[in-house]
Structure 1
Amino acid sequence: MFPLIQRCYFCTPFKLQKLTGPQLLLYGKNKTTWSSLRLWLQKDICPLSRSPSLNPVSLHATRLQGFHTSLPFFKKKTSKESESKNSGVLRRSMQALKDSPKPALYLSLAGLIPFVSVPLLMAIQGTYHPELAFAQVTYGAATVSFLGGMRWGFALPEDSPAKPDWLNLANSTIPLLFAWQALLFKDITSGAVMLVMALGVALHYDLALLPTYPRWFKVLRVVGTLVMVFSLLATALLKTISEMEQSNSTNKWQNTK
């Protein structure tokens, strides 16, 4: 019933829609008979009802188009945009690194030499030296302890933005505990992994959790931490390779017997 009413209503000419009930009766009387009104309706209304542009389906589609709104389109970042963004971040980081005081920059880079030299020397010689690996772990424990104690020196002055509260002072001792635990391990691999965890905790404190340092120092801390972590992991990898070679040689020697 509703489609029929809707069809008749929307297919009726605009003039006829304006007519009220009495006016419609009067209009029929002026034509003398209802048959003339019926003929007029058949002549003017029916062709419109057969028009494909005003059928219920097209009318419903037209209404929907009026309320149609496209979903938000999230444009995917192209490779060029991501590369430009990464290059911009790298450029700003290098600029911040260049703005760092020269003594802090040179001493920090010099402090990375014992980390890098140990796995590099063993890789060049093609042999694993347990003494050099233990010396690297010991130096790493001392470095982690220094990074933890540095927070105390930053928080103690009266005009410092970091307060000497439990958050700053107690968290500074956690990397020290990790370093002490690394020295207790007899296995170099376990000690190296413990130092990697300690370096990650110290870096998290300096960048995110506790009051931040200057930008140049944060960049310097990230670079130094990455170099120390990869050096320790390289030493652990060289130790694993050396143990595998020794086990293979021992198995071959036993098989020859």
Structure 2
Amino acid sequence: MPGEPHVSVFTGLPAGDKLVELWLPHNESVELLELRTDAPVNAAPTAGRIGAHHGSSISQGANSSMPARTWPAIAAHIGVQLHNLSLGGGALVDPFLAPVIRDTPGDLISVKLGINLVNLDLMRMRAFESAVHGFLDTIRDGHPDTPLVLVSPIFCGIHEDTPGPGALDPDTFKSGRTKVIATGNREESKQGRLTLRTIRAALALLAERRSADPNLHHLDGLQLYGQADAAEHPLPDALHPDTLTHSLIAERFAAHAFSDSGPFGGKTVTGRARCPSAGQS
């Protein structure tokens, strides 16, 4: 539901040149109506590498207390200007999203796929594998040599072996803290209905089949948050990590991706997005 316009005023800033960053809410749509200053301002030059990330509501930051504490934002603090292209409930290997990544300037790319496809019971394994290949092919049209990390889902007990669709658990409505449940049939995963376990295996095999691409890297999401972590850091709604767990995932992703031997470590700029030619969609 649309809200009333709100005016935010920032006062008491120190004199002289300064860098000002405005972090807009990560869990609401915001329309900037007007921006006023009492002195001239200039766009800050881009510092460091540019990174693009696409994922689900987990990457968008659901259950995180603030936009700066979502796991992609924390991981990007290592000298990366982040374009977070994550969509809550919308990481569905949609054909429209791959061209957005293709045409977005960037030096680093990460794509985290899986959970929403199970949540919505959107497609079967045959369609999933083909869709991911096409998704990556489109990204590579604009970023042929850019380091790209393909991340599989983190642990989520309700969907590890049980297909979707997901639904709110009515037994939790009165508690004030609703949880999500899986409503599918475990046996139907044998007929191609997706679960997190089958998606992880498929993405690992897919990355192996694309081994001719030296800059494509696969990261098992269980390395970021696994079954053992669920006991110590349970998902409050059985689906999304809380703020503390976002930090844990970010630390592990950064340790993997930005280490000297990691896909994003020790690399110079490998090329920004190439603009598609006239008529290319």
- Report TM bin, short chain: under 0.3
TM-score, normalising length from structure 1?
0.25
Asked which structure has the greater CA Rg, the reply is 1
Taking structure 2 as the reference length, what is the TM-score of the superposition?
0.24
